Structure 1
Amino acid sequence: MRTHTGEKPYKCDQCDYSAARKDSLDHHVAKHTGDKPYMCGECGYRAVLKSDLVKHMRTHTSDKPFKCDQCDFSAAQKSNLKQHLSKHTGDKPYMCDECGYMADRKSTISRHMRTHTGEKPYKCDQCDYSAAQKCSLNQHLAQHTGDKPFMCGECGYRTAWKTHLSTHMRTHTGDKPYKCDQCDYSAAEKTNLSNHMRTHTGEKPYKCVQCGYSASRKYSLVLHLAKHTGDKPYMCGECGYRTTRKSDLSKHMRTHAGDKPYKCDQCDYSAAHKNSLNQHLAKHTGEKPYMCGECGYRTVRKFDFSQHVRIHTGEKPYKCDQCDYSAAHKSTLNRHLAMHTGDKPYMCGECGYRTTKKCNLSQHMRTHTGEKPYKCDQCDYSAAVKFALNNHFKTHR
């Protein structure tokens, strides 16, 4: 009844906090005392509430006692099952008055409202950091304490976040519990499913405040904003290459190390990047799932198809912010921008050769390694660059 009356009879004697339930007060008081009496014997995790320890132990046992009666989904926590059930019913009773956003949980709509109000109620007691969500504050606090209480029993991975451990465990189990109801896509993480759903809806909720750009993913907007600020925080210690993305730096470092972790299971081909391996595998299967309705062009990659379509539409979405030049492809714009800046970020560690294009550096490196990855399937000819192989094919016609 207290959910209707708003009554909160349990008062904290150290601050003005009050709660509708005694266990909520006990949980709060632990913030003052630091007391966490319940400890996991597997990894040393400690909790204020016994129920939290019981939930934590399921990360070690993989116990999922909460079963869906409409499909084979099961969950370690009751709240996760409730959230799953809304996928069957479609029920989203909580709606935002500002933008019409709907949610299946009251806590979700409360968090969403802070995007409108800018409220950040969770304060760090060691610095001036504040957050809109409690989980963000918990992650921040780990920077002060270095505490990573959640540990994987399979490989020793540790994290400050329980949700991160749950996600990590799926790398061992292969579990992809988040299913798309419009196609056969499934994901290990809820955020990946949310991003995928926008491929069906076309929704682009992340807006740039400096231009008309919008994106379906927050990360894409962050990358876009770097074009306005020029910020490239990740730098290669070998050649000075800088980038906006940590993942791009990791890929770049393979040009120095010669690391090619992605192996073909049908031949001796290996690649530095996963997408290069995926493209290579299509040579074995012959599969080209993306087809142009205008001219019948087919391709292995969705990205190549998107670029091809612009030949028919004449679309040139990549705009230069220093002149009126525009391009159909991002790489073309990047080459153009180098005319303004004179920037050649890609450098060879062997001889100091510099270039504006990453692909040029990759080709150049083969002059040092002698690598010839492009193989003719009709004779023993091989080439260092793709166009040389294309020219060679003409000798067989």
Structure 2
Amino acid sequence: EKFGCETCGKVFKVRSLYYSHMEDHKNFKLKKPGFTQVDDTKYRCNTCDREFATQTSVLYHLRIHNRLRCLNCNFVCSKKKVMDKHSTLPPQDEKYTCKTCKKDFKVKSLYQSHIQDHEKGFTQSDTATYSCDMCDREFATPTAVMYHLRIHKMLRCPKCKFSCSKKKVLDKHVCRSKRVYRWTGYCQTCSATFSTRPQLNKHYSQHRDHLPIACPWDGCTIRFEHLYDLTKHQVVHTGETRYICEYCGQRFKHVQNLKVHIRIHTDEKPFKCDKCDYSGRQKHALDYHNSRH
């Protein structure tokens, strides 16, 4: 949707910019514009003689010269309602003085908190201190003691180091230990489990020492039971990519990688979760999903 100005024919795609442009035309008719049109593509500010390419630009510029200034401070703005709101605020140098102990505060909220301490019966001399009943730590004001007591009343997650002061926050907390996905490797020969892939590969070498077929490449000590496994392994050394995707032409070293890749084009997701509607293209994606349940 486009918005066209009936006065100058300019077209806008954003409604707010169109309304702002029409407001400029309205201000131009109600009062003296404050600028001079030199030619069709040049507008000059009457205050600072700065030149602009469009009428809208010079009107935006004139807001600098027409700013409203506060009589009590250095605050400036371009809108009267903002200035009216500013005028209702107390001056920056205003102080709040306690009638009981004659202490001064610059922030009203701290002053009100201090008054409440007096209403609760707390009194303080120049040398008085307030101690925590749980750790004997001393503070200069009772308000400081109250804030300190929140530390001892913190609610802690039993499974991680997360802590908070409100029960509803702890209820919404999802323990990080539930979200961490830990890879687990299984030996297909003896069913041993390992937490890292290098540990699993090192364990596999113990089973392969007695196998008859050795890899002919220099520096490679892996052995295999079948010739097919050796042929599949040699792709690691040759870098051959014989398997090509019929959809996008991407090449792969192993046929299994090609099958997983084709699922992106066919949107096939064979691994389904038993607890919800989630389904994934690979088994490790499903394992990671199950770790978050």
User: After TM superposition, is the score higher than 0.5?
Assistant: no
**TM-score, with normalisation over the residues of structure 1?**
0.21
Specify which structure has the bigger relative contact order, considering alpha-carbon pairs within 8 angstroms and separated by 6 or more residues.
2
Greater percentage in helix: 1
Q: Which has the larger radius of gyration?
A: 2
